[in-house]
Structure 1
C-alpha cells in the first residue's frame, strides 16, 4: 500500500509541476519532500494529494482499510508544510527515510 501511495503522490506531483523527492512515514502519517515552484499553493497541493490518494487507496485496498477506517475519508484535515530553503536536502531526505525505523 505504501508503494502504491508513493506512486500516486508522484503522479499527482508531476501533474502539479512538482517533484516528489522523498516519501516515507509511519502507520499513522507520512512525510513528503516536494520540490515545488513558488507559484504552487501548498494548501491546494496538499488537498489534491489527500483527495486523490484517499479515493484511490480506498477503492484499491477496500478490504484492508475497512478494518481500520469506517468513514469515507482516509486522511485527517491536518497537515504541516515547512520550507527547507536553507537546510541541506540530504539531511531532510535521511530524516524522512528513517521514519518508522525504530518501530520495526
Structure 2
C-alpha cells in the first residue's frame, strides 16, 4: 500500500478496487400510509443491519418518519442496489407483519406492505457541482 494512503472506514478495499459507494434510499409504505410507530422503529434497528451485513454492506444511518424510511447504506460494487433495497423492504415488511399484525392491518390491507418503487440517491464524497467543475478543468489532449 502506498505510504500516502490513509485507510478510513468510508473507503473499502478489494483485490483490484478501492471504493466508497453510499446510497440514501427513501421508501414509503403502500398507499403512503403513516404506519410507523416508535415500537416499529425499534424493530427496524434489529432487522436492517443484519440484512445489510448479509449483502456485505453496512447500514450507516437509518431514520424514519411516520410515512417514510431513510436508510443510508454503504455497499460494495458487486451488489445491485435494487436487490439490496428489495431485500431490506421484504425482510422489514415480513418481520413487522409478524411482530405487529394488529397495528399493521389498521393501516395496510392486502399482501403488499411497500409499493414496488423507491428513491435511491447516490452520496459520494463530493457534491456533483464540484465533480463537474473538476471534470471541466481537465485539459484535453492534443
The verdict on a shared fold, with TM-score over 0.5 as the criterion, is yes
Q: How far off its partner does 1:86 sit?
A: 2.4
SS in 2 for 1:81: strand
Q: Tell which structure's C-alpha radius of gyration is larger.
A: 2
Q: Which runs of 4+ in 1 moved over 4 A?
A: none
- Paired with 2:53 and 2:43, the residues of 1 have a C-alpha distance of 15
Match of 1:67 in 2: 106
TM-score, structure 2 length as denominator?
A: 0.58
TM-score, structure 1 length as denominator?
A: 0.78
Match of 1:51 in 2: 90
The Cα RMSD (Å) is: 1.4
Which structure has more helix as a fraction of its residues? Answer: 1
Count of paired positions: 88
Q: How far off its partner does 1:87 sit?
A: 4.5
